[in-house]
């Protein structure tokens, strides 16, 4: 149990890049971020996520959101200038939601469009995550972190599909985001340290055994810590918990979802 490798997590992508705490520290590794924009209202801190990302993808109708909502976020600027500055690298999906005018606009800007309308068995988010993994070298995958904007709230079938992507790519760091909260997977292969960025996240949090029950989970740093505790749907799941310390530790025999609230001031 003690030989288990440590995985550190820290939501520094919610801080401005110039912020000292956004730089790599003992809080967590220096990560390379990719961003996937889904077809839901973009979060208010979207420009921050965009700046952190080295690769930016829109999942099908996510392109409509960048096209429509970014100019609304910067009402004092010319909409065209805003669209030029927020030009995605790739638009990928089954292309049944992107509007023709939006598709044509980005084709003219040279954006790569990957039409996978033949695949009706995987979601547009899944298709985008596959693209990012395929374009990342094996040695760089451990430093990759995929931020997913617009993944929570909205239609529950889509939310469940988005959570399933965390499990299907369980060796890749993926963070699902909305305006209100974030979710990521804590794989059972690791012992976890979560460094709380208390200026932008918390205090509400949860540990949820979505994929399978947990026979034993132990935590430190929470108001209601678990101590060799069983969790399952139909039994206990840790929701409405509160972070009490700057560092949370989690040790579990099952994959767990970690979720934490995002502060309104972000």
Ligand X SMILES: Cc1ncc(C[n+]2csc(CCO)c2C)c(N)n1
- Asked if residue 121 binds ligand X (CB under 6 A), the reply is yes
| Three-class SS state of 51 | helix
Q: Which two tokens stand for residue 118?
A: 């033949």
The binder of 122, among ligand X, ligand ATP, none, by C-beta within 5 to 8 A per type, is ligand X
For ligand X, the closer CB: 122 or 249: 122
The binder of 121, among ligand ATP, ligand X, none, by C-beta within 5 to 8 A per type, is ligand X
For ligand X, the closer CB: 122 or 220: 122
Beta carbon of residue 127, minimum distance to ligand ATP (angstroms, whole number)? 8
The binder of 155, among ligand ATP, ligand X, none, by C-beta within 5 to 8 A per type, is ligand ATP
CB-based contact 83:70 (threshold 8 Å): yes
* Long-range contacts from 43-49, C-beta under 8 angstroms, 24+ separation: 43/149, 43/150, 43/177, 43/178, 43/179, 44/179, 44/266, 45/14, 45/262, 45/266, 46/70, 46/73, 46/149, 47/73, 48/13, 48/14, 48/15, 48/16, 49/13, 49/147, 49/149, 49/177
Residues in the interface with ligand ATP (CB under 6 A) total 20
Give, as ranges, the residues between 41 and 70 that touch ligand X (CB under 6 A): none
The closest of 248, 250, 222, 217 to 232, measured between CA atoms, is: 217
For ligand ATP, the closer CB: 22 or 146: 146
- Asked if residue 164 binds ligand X (CB under 6 A), the reply is no
Q: What is the 3-state secondary structure (H, E, C) of 214-264?
A: EEEEEEECECCCCCCEEECCCCCCEEEEEECCCEEEEEECCCEEEEEEECC
Give, as ranges, the residues between 42 and 61 that touch ligand ATP (CB under 6 A): 59-61
- Asked if residue 62 binds ligand ATP (CB under 6 A), the reply is yes
- Asked if residue 124 binds ligand X (CB under 6 A), the reply is yes
CB-based contact 22:12 (threshold 8 Å): yes
Stretch in the footprint of ligand X (CB under 6 A) among 122-130, 209-217, 227-235, 242-250: 122-130
For ligand X, the closer CB: 118 or 264: 118
- Asked if residue 181 binds ligand ATP (CB under 6 A), the reply is no
User: For the window 85-104, what string marks contact with ligand X as x by the rule CB under 6 A?
Assistant: ---------x----------
The binder of 11, among ligand X, ligand ATP, none, by C-beta within 5 to 8 A per type, is none
CB-based contact 117:92 (threshold 8 Å): no
The closest of 187, 191, 222 to 204, measured between CA atoms, is: 222
Beta carbon of residue 164, minimum distance to ligand ATP (angstroms, whole number)? 10
| Three-class SS state of 36 | strand
- Asked if residue 130 binds ligand X (CB under 6 A), the reply is no
* Chain residues that interact with ligand X, rule: CB under 6 A: 94, 120-124
């Amino acid at each position: 149990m003690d030989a288990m490798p440590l995985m550190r997590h820290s939501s520094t992508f919610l801080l401005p890049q110039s912020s000292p705490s956004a730089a790599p520290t003992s809080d967590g590794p220096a990560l390379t971020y990719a961003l996937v924009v889904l077809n839901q209202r973009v979060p208010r801190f979207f420009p921050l996520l965009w700046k952190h990302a080295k690769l930016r993808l829109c999942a099908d109708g996510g392109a409509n959101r960048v096209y429509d909502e970014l100019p609304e976020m910067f009402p004092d600027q010319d909409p065209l200038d805003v669209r030029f500055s927020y030009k995605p690298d790739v638009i990928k999906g089954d292309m049944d939601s992107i509007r023709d005018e939006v598709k044509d606009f980005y084709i003219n800007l040279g954006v790569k469009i990957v039409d996978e309308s033949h695949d009706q068995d995987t979601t547009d988010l899944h298709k985008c995550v596959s693209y990012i993994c395929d374009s990342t070298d094996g040695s760089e995958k451990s430093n990759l972190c995929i931020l997913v904007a617009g993944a929570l709230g909205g239609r529950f079938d889509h939310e469940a599909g988005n959570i399933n992507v965390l499990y299907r790519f369980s060796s890749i760091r993926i963070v699902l985001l909305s305006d209100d909260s974030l979710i990521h997977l804590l794989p059972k292969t690791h012992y976890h340290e979560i460094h709380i960025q208390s200026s932008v996240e918390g205090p509400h949090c949860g540990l949820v055994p979505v994929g399978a029950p947990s026979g034993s989970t132990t935590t430190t740093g929470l108001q209601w810590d678990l101590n060799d505790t069983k969790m399952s749907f139909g039994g206990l799941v840790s929701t409405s918990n509160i972070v009490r310390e700057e560092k949370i530790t989690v040790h579990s025999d099952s994959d767990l979802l970690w979720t934490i609230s995002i502060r309104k001031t972000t």
